[in-house]
Structure 1
Amino acid sequence: MSSHATSGLDRRTELKEFLRSRRARLRPEDVGLPSYGRRRVPGLRREELAQLAGVSYAYYARLEQGYGETMSAEVLDAIARALHLNDEEREHLVRLAQPERQSAAQAPPPQQRLRPSVRHLLDALGVPAYVVDRRLDILGWNRLAAAVFGDWGLLPPEERNAARLAFLSSEARERFADPGSTALRVARALRMNAGKSPGDPHFSSLIQELSQQSEEFRQLWARHEVSCGTVGETVRMRHPLVGEFDLVHEPMALHGGAPMRLVTYHAEPGSRSEEALRMLASWEMEPLR
């Protein structure tokens, strides 16, 4: 990530664009409204959304202009229901509309280092595992993760970031059978996390870099989709030595200090994928650090 950025994301702009993107994905017939004639832009009109939420057009328009600080929790809930938001999207809406309700999340987290106990845990796990912070910087990993995803120890520290790897590294993308799906998951997580720390200049720097260098990122970022990821999701890997195999993705929060996530992958017992992992684990590898 570059170091020249001095400010974070603009929260009000994020709120406006998020609401417009959620409104654009709904058709009148999706919510029981009649549709008359051609529409200049896809999705519901502001007045239709306001009607569904039970608020005035002017009230909703103010929210979509980026001003939600004075709105009640009940009104935001009604708008979230009208927009058919899922739990993660609703959380994202509240965070952008009323940051004072998420005060603990506003301070940019400091640069993180892994506790020795977490490093020992990584080394002890018999599955590929790594730790990322809110910015998706990869803070630590074990040998099996290096065997599956590539040796991140060969990269400069500033390049050890899951988003940079997903969009800008051809070597990293080649390790996934469907790199597009991986990129979408990363974009959703990055959008979700950036909303938790809109004042963090590292986010705006990273997003600027990805936007400049990746058309795929620009398209996915414009969709305003948010998600922390699906627990238990299967990811198909493509390894130059053992071919394709499936791993089950299991992320979990690490408590104590700034937010970090332990991300593990395991294979179904008795499967060919488990045998592929066993082969990778059995090969001698040089120490990573």
Structure 2
Amino acid sequence: MDTDKDPAGANALGGFLRAQRARLRPEDVGIPTSGRRRVPGLRREEVATLAGLSTDYYTRLEQGRERHPSQQILESVARALRLDDEAVAHLYRVAGPTTRRTRRAPRVERVAPHLRRLLDTWSDTPALLLGPALDILARNRLAGALYAGFTHSDNLLRMTFLDPAAPHFYRDWDRAAESTVATLRRAAGVDPEDPRLSQLVGELSVKSADFRVLWARHDVRGKTREAKLFHHAEVGDLELHYESFTVNSAPTQQLVVYQAEPGTTSADALALLGSLSAGPVPVQDTATGAVSD
């Protein structure tokens, strides 16, 4: 499993291709079958034929012995594996230059004061500022109230996979888990040398069998917009829609804002949660460790 030291794995391209090959059935790509197959999904030679490559060359791609596939080859493989736009972008990232850089120290994600003030002005919508490994760098009062039942409140993945509150809070836990892992996998493709990602993948791989299974699937998806189904201990069920924004002044950070549809029971529940949690939520600054209101 490619989870020990490098979140993208020493052979990230091979791991990704194997996972994508395993998810396809012969009938998905028009290959007739008869009898029992020994491997899940497609065989290497079937993908090679669909991509117009020799089996030997495609095997070298999966085994990490071919490090510099051309754009034409990547396009052919992407078509053969029926990859969507997110997966194609990830394929190009993990197939890029493989020169290893000196292992760098963990990056300290600092929250700009104007961003913290912006979060605090949104009193009616939960808002989070996330780092590349889905660390929660800052949150406003309502977001703090929304996630108040969690013991782990520093990282969305640790909350989802390691906190006992998660199965009760996420009404569709399976979907939430798949989404967070796919987002982390995308981050690993963007910056495979990030030591924070390595540390997080290592911790979750040791502590969560569910994470290990999902990580091995190599699903890739960035945070954009989605509906989330929650159950809050104080206000009941919530259906919230989020939008995710890249912070131009800090491109590794994402601003995530939740909202409820006006006039719905979720909007009423969110308003009630706001009234129950009046007052600022203390937030720890990730750079200095200082706690402020």
Cα distance change of structure 1 residues 10 and 253 upon mapping to structure 2, 3 Å threshold: closer
Structure 2 residue 260 is matched with structure 1 residue 276:
no
The residue type equivalent to 1:44 in the other structure is: L
Other-structure match for 1:111: 108
Q: Secondary structure at the match of 1:251?
A: strand
Q: What's the CA shift string for 1:65-89, capped at 9, x where partnerless?
A: 1245322111101100100011111
The residue type equivalent to 2:117 in the other structure is: H
The residue type equivalent to 1:279 in the other structure is: L
Cα distance change of structure 1 residues 213 and 35 upon mapping to structure 2, 3 Å threshold: same
TM, length-normalised to structure 2: 0.86
Query: Any conservation in 2 of the 1:122–1:142 contact (CA below 8 Å)?
Result: yes
Output the CA distance in 2 between the equivalents of 1:67 and 1:128.
47
Alignment partner of 1:189 out of 178, 183, 186 = 183
Alignment partner of 1:147 out of 142, 145, 150 = 145
Other-structure match for 1:59: 57
Displacement after TM superposition at 1:64 (Å) = 0.8
Output the CA distance in 1 between the equivalents of 2:242 and 2:105.
27
Query: Any conservation in 2 of the 1:12–1:96 contact (CA below 8 Å)?
Result: no
Output the CA distance in 2 between the equivalents of 1:223 and 1:93.
14
Alignment partner of 1:122 out of 119, 122, 145 = 119
Other-structure match for 1:226: 220
Cα distance change of structure 1 residues 200 and 127 upon mapping to structure 2, 3 Å threshold: same
Other-structure match for 2:243: 250
5+ residue gaps, structure 1: none
Query: Any conservation in 2 of the 1:11–1:96 contact (CA below 8 Å)?
Result: no
5+ residue gaps, structure 2: 283-293
Matched ranges for 1:130-209 at <5 A: 130-150=128-148, 160-209=154-203
The residue type equivalent to 1:80 in the other structure is: A
Q: Secondary structure at the match of 2:83?
A: coil
Other-structure match for 2:14: 16
RMSD over aligned Cα atoms:
2.5
Q: What's the CA shift string for 1:18-41, capped at 9, x where partnerless?
A: 111111111222112222432111
Output the CA distance in 2 between the equivalents of 1:151 and 1:39.
47
Output the CA distance in 2 between the equivalents of 1:203 and 1:140.
19
The residue type equivalent to 1:16 in the other structure is: G
Query: Any conservation in 1 of the 2:240–2:260 contact (CA below 8 Å)?
Result: yes
Q: Secondary structure at the match of 2:165?
A: helix
Q: Secondary structure at the match of 1:99?
A: coil
Output the CA distance in 2 between the equivalents of 1:25 and 1:149.
34
Other-structure match for 1:33: 31
Other-structure match for 1:238: 231
Output the CA distance in 2 between the equivalents of 1:23 and 1:6.
23
How many residue pairs are counted as aligned between the two chains? 277
Q: Secondary structure at the match of 2:47?
A: helix
TM, length-normalised to structure 1: 0.88
Query: Any conservation in 1 of the 2:74–2:92 contact (CA below 8 Å)?
Result: yes
Cα distance change of structure 1 residues 109 and 208 upon mapping to structure 2, 3 Å threshold: closer
The residue type equivalent to 1:78 in the other structure is: S
Which segment is superposed worse, 107-116 or 254-263? 107-116
Identity %, equivalent residues: 43
